[in-house]
């Protein structure tokens, strides 16, 4: 897992990094000495756990923690501070632990174990969700809400509820990401098999119709048997 340490004191930051470096739960350690730098790292790397000071110049650790809670996939937060008086206020940000400086290795490792368990539980939950970008905004929907994914020139258009969005992932990537939820029916199409209403054959081609979706979707000849199997599973 990837960790981010945020502390404006160089000695404190280097000490925490030194304590973390041999922990088997940690793949990569990022460091930031202010919230603005921490935000840049969050926007460019996948961070699982943040070890966060509170009293810093400019935006505080509490400000950053509140911002993290707006992320679709927010990391686990461990507060590490010299100020016990922030403890009550900090729990509005739902940290997994609140540590006081100077922290010893045993106490820090306890917090890390708690954070790792929390993050793993979050990742398991996120596996049933689909996350995509519209502009600079991340959106998350339940995979069950996806109707189909259709190739659209260089991109893929995901249809969900009564909306749609262009995503940069390829159909192959989406097929792997949504394995067990979406069914490949054509080189240009993935569908939600629970929404199949009709499998039709016309002019030498097969098509499916999906509940609530007006467009017929072509099914390649070699994938017809998979569609029939999905329909048999749906209709018993």
- pLDDT tens across 61-101, in order? 999 999 998 876 789 999 999 999 999 999 889 999 999 99
- 107, 126, 145 - which closes a domain: 126
- C-alpha distances in Å from residue 103, one per residue of 31, 38, 90: 18, 22, 18
Residue 168's pLDDT is what?
Answer: 82
Identify whether residues 13 and 84 lie together within a single domain: yes
CA angle, 158 as apex, 152 and 144 as ends, to 5°?
A: 155
- pLDDT reading at 236 higher than 70: no
Tokens linked to 140: 């998350």
Query: Could you give the percent of the chain with pLDDT greater than 90?
Result: 67
Query: Could you give the percent of the chain with pLDDT greater than 70?
Result: 93
- Domain range for residue 149? 133-235
Assessment of whether the complete model's pTM goes beyond 0.75: no
Identify whether residues 226 and 116 lie together within a single domain: no
Output the CA torsion 20→23→26→29 (10° steps): 20
Identify whether residues 68 and 117 lie together within a single domain: yes
Residue 136's pLDDT is what?
Answer: 63
Distance CA(57)–CA(81), nearest Å, equals 14
Nearest to 107 by CA among 170, 203, 16: 16
- 93, 108, 126 - which closes a domain: 126
Identify whether residues 39 and 56 lie together within a single domain: yes
Residue 124's pLDDT is what?
Answer: 63
Identify whether residues 226 and 142 lie together within a single domain: yes
Q: Which residues pair with 5 in a beta bridge?
A: 31, 51
Average pLDDT over residues 114-131: 76
Domain count, the chain: 2
71 CB-near residues (< 8 Å, 6+ apart): 42, 138
Identify whether residues 8 and 109 lie together within a single domain: yes
Give the range among 35-39, 195-199, 231-235 with minimum mean pLDDT.
231-235
State the sign of the Cα–Cα–Cα–Cα dihedral 223, 228, 230, 231.
positive
Identify whether residues 55 and 103 lie together within a single domain: yes
pLDDT confidence bin for 232, thresholds 50/70/90: confident
Give the range among 15-19, 72-76, 165-169, 232-236 with minimum mean pLDDT.
232-236
pLDDT tens across 126-148, in order?
656 777 766 666 777 888 889 99
Identify whether residues 103 and 74 lie together within a single domain: yes
Q: Which residues pair with 137 in a beta bridge?
A: 134
Output the CA torsion 43→59→56→137 (10° steps): -10
Average pLDDT over residues 196-205: 94
pLDDT confidence bin for 235, thresholds 50/70/90: low
Identify whether residues 57 and 142 lie together within a single domain: no
Pairing mode, strands 2-6 and 28-32: parallel
137 CB-near residues (< 8 Å, 6+ apart): none
pLDDT confidence bin for 209, thresholds 50/70/90: very high
Identify whether residues 185 and 142 lie together within a single domain: yes
Identify whether residues 168 and 71 lie together within a single domain: no
CATH number at residue 194: 2.40.50.1020
Residue listed under structure tokens 């009293």: 55
Average pLDDT over residues 209-235: 90
Nearest to 114 by CA among 95, 101, 130: 95
- 106, 126, 146 - which closes a domain: 126
């Amino acid at each position: 897992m990837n960790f981010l340490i945020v502390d404006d004191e160089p000695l404190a930051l280097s000490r925490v990094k030194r304590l973390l470096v041999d922990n088997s739960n940690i793949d990569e350690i990022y460091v930031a000495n202010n919230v603005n730098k921490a935000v840049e790292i969050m926007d460019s790397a996948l961070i699982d756990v943040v070890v966060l000071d509170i009293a810093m110049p400019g935006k505080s650790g509490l400000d950053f923690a509140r911002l993290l809670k707006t992320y679709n996939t927010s990391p686990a937060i461990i507060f590490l501070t010299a100020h016990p008086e922030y403890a009550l206020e900090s729990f509005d940000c739902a940290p997994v632990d609140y540590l006081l400086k100077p922290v010893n290795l045993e106490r820090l490792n306890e917090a890390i174990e708690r954070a790792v368990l929390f993050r793993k539980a979050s990742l398991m939950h996120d596996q049933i969700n689909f996350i995509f970008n519209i502009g600079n905004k991340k959106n998350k929907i339940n995979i069950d809400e996806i109707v189909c994914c259709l190739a659209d020139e260089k991109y893929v258009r995901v249809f969900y509820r009564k909306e749609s969005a262009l995503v940069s992932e390829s159909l192959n990537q989406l097929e792997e990401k949504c394995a067990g939820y979406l069914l490949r029916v054509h080189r240009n199409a993935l569908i939600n098999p629970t929404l199949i209403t009709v499998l039709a054959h016309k002019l030498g081609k097969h098509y499916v119709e999906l509940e609530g979706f007006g467009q017929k979707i072509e099914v390649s000849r070699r994938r017809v048997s998979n569609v029939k199997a999905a329909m048999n599973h749906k209709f018993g």
